[in-house]
Amino acid sequence: MKVNFFGAAGTVTGSMHLVDAAGKRILLDCGMIQGSDAEEARNTEAFPFDVNAIDAVVVSHAHIDHTGRLPLLAARGYQGPIYAQEATCDLIPVMLMDSASLQESDAARQSRKRVAGTPEVVPLYTRDDVQKMLPQLRPLPYHQRTTLFPDIEVDLRDAGHILGSSIIELFADGRTLVFSGDLGPKGTPILRDPETPPAADLVLMESTYGNRNHKDRAETVRELGGILDDAWKNQGNVLIPAFAVGRTQELLYWFARFWDEWNLSRWKIFIDSPMAAKVIQIYDRHHELFDDDALEVWKGTPNPFRLPNLHTTDSIQDSMAINQIRSGAIIIAGNGMASGGRIVHHLRHNIGRREAHIVFVGYQADGTLGRRLVNGAKTVRMFGEEYQVNAQCHTIGGLSAHTDQNGLLEWYGGIAGHPSVALVHGEDDAREALATELHERFGVTAELARPGAVREV
Ligand code: ZN
404-435: per-residue pLDDT in tens?
Answer: 999 999 999 999 999 999 998 888 899 999 99
Residue 38's pLDDT band (cuts 50, 70, 90): confident
Q: Which of 378, 399, 420 is the last residue of a domain?
A: 399
- What are the distances in angstroms from CA 147 to CA 79, 155, 169, 172, 236? 19, 9, 12, 10, 55
| pLDDT, position 9 | 65
Q: How far is the CA of 33 from the centre of ligand 1 (A)?
A: 13
Q: How far is the CA of 110 from the centre of ligand 1 (A)?
A: 29
Q: What is the mean pLDDT of residues 55-78?
A: 97
Instruction: List the CATH number of the domain containing 223.
Output: 3.40.50.10890
Residues 37, 68: one domain? yes
Instruction: List the CATH number of the domain containing 25.
Output: 3.60.15.10
Q: How far is the CA of 118 from the centre of ligand 1 (A)?
A: 37
Residues 246, 365: one domain? yes
Residues 201, 250: one domain? no
Q: How far is the CA of 65 from the centre of ligand 1 (A)?
A: 7
Strands 310-312 and 379-382: unpaired
Contact 127, 97 (CB under 8 A): yes
Among 35, 39, 108, 99, CA closest to 70: 99
Q: How far is the CA of 164 from the centre of ligand 1 (A)?
A: 11
Residues paired with 158 in a beta bridge:
166
Q: How far is the CA of 317 from the centre of ligand 1 (A)?
A: 30
Q: How far is the CA of 206 from the centre of ligand 1 (A)?
A: 10
The answer for residues whose C-beta is within 8 angstroms of residue 393's C-beta and 6 or more apart is 357, 358, 360, 373, 374, 376
| pLDDT, position 46 | 94
- Report the chain's mean pLDDT, rounded to a whole number: 94
Query: Rounded CA gap, 24 and 150, in Å?
Result: 10
Q: How far is the CA of 355 from the centre of ligand 1 (A)?
A: 32
Q: How far is the CA of 254 from the centre of ligand 1 (A)?
A: 20
Query: Rounded CA gap, 332 and 188, in Å?
Result: 19
Q: How far is the CA of 159 from the centre of ligand 1 (A)?
A: 10
Q: What is the pLDDT of residues 98-123, one digit of tens each?
A: 999 989 998 999 899 888 889 999 99
Asked if residue 332 has pLDDT above 80, the reply is: yes
Residue 23's pLDDT band (cuts 50, 70, 90): very high
Instruction: Please state the domain count of the chain.
Output: 2
Q: How far is the CA of 165 from the centre of ligand 1 (A)?
A: 8
| pLDDT, position 329 | 98
Q: What is the pLDDT of residues 138-188, one digit of tens each?
A: 999 999 999 999 999 999 999 999 999 999 999 999 999 999 999 999 999
Contact 303, 252 (CB under 8 A): no
Residues 280, 414: one domain? no
Asked if residue 204 has pLDDT above 80, the reply is: yes
Helices 405-413 and 428-442 pack at an angle, to 10 degrees, of 40
Q: How far is the CA of 106 from the centre of ligand 1 (A)?
A: 23
Asked if residue 198 has pLDDT above 90, the reply is: yes
Q: How far is the CA of 62 from the centre of ligand 1 (A)?
A: 7
| pLDDT, position 451 | 86
Residues 311, 190: one domain? no
Contact 5, 455 (CB under 8 A): yes
Asked if residue 10 has pLDDT above 80, the reply is: no
Q: How far is the CA of 15 from the centre of ligand 1 (A)?
A: 10
Q: How far is the CA of 350 from the centre of ligand 1 (A)?
A: 28
Highest mean pLDDT among 102-106, 338-342, 360-364, 371-375: 371-375
Q: What is the DSSP string of 199-252?
A: --SEEEEE-TTTT--PPPHHHHHHHHHHHHHHHHHHT--EEEE--TTTHHHHHH
Residues 387, 436: one domain? no
Residue 400's pLDDT band (cuts 50, 70, 90): confident
Q: Residues within 5 Å of ion ligand 1 by Cβ?
A: 63, 182
Asked if residue 84 has pLDDT above 90, the reply is: yes
Q: How far is the CA of 303 from the centre of ligand 1 (A)?
A: 26
Residues 354, 394: one domain? yes
What is this structure's pTM?
0.90
Residues 112, 125: one domain? yes
Asked if residue 8 has pLDDT above 70, the reply is: no
Q: How far is the CA of 194 from the centre of ligand 1 (A)?
A: 13
Q: How far is the CA of 63 from the centre of ligand 1 (A)?
A: 5
Strands 420-424 and 202-206: parallel
Q: What is the pLDDT of residues 213-267, one digit of tens each?
A: 988 888 999 999 999 999 999 999 999 999 889 889 999 999 999 999 999 999 9
Residues 251, 353: one domain? yes
| pLDDT, position 269 | 98
Contact 65, 34 (CB under 8 A): yes
Q: How far is the CA of 158 from the centre of ligand 1 (A)?
A: 13
Residues 319, 223: one domain? yes
Q: Which of 354, 380, 399 is the last residue of a domain?
A: 399
Residue 28's pLDDT band (cuts 50, 70, 90): very high
Q: What is the mean pLDDT of residues 381-404?
A: 92
Q: How far is the CA of 113 from the centre of ligand 1 (A)?
A: 33
Query: Rounded CA gap, 328 and 356, in Å?
Result: 10
- Domain containing 325: what range? 217-399
Residues 126, 179: one domain? yes
Residues 299, 438: one domain? no
- What are the distances in angstroms from CA 54 to CA 103, 236, 394, 416, 457? 25, 52, 44, 31, 19
| pLDDT, position 228 | 97
Q: What is the mean pLDDT of residues 277-296?
A: 96
> What whole-number percentage of the chain has pLDDT above 90?
84
Q: Which of 359, 380, 399 is the last residue of a domain?
A: 399
Asked if residue 289 has pLDDT above 70, the reply is: yes
Strands 24-28 and 16-21: antiparallel
- What are the distances in angstroms from CA 144 to CA 60, 84, 86, 153, 248? 15, 12, 12, 10, 29
The pair phi, psi for residue 39, each rounded to 5°, is -65, -45
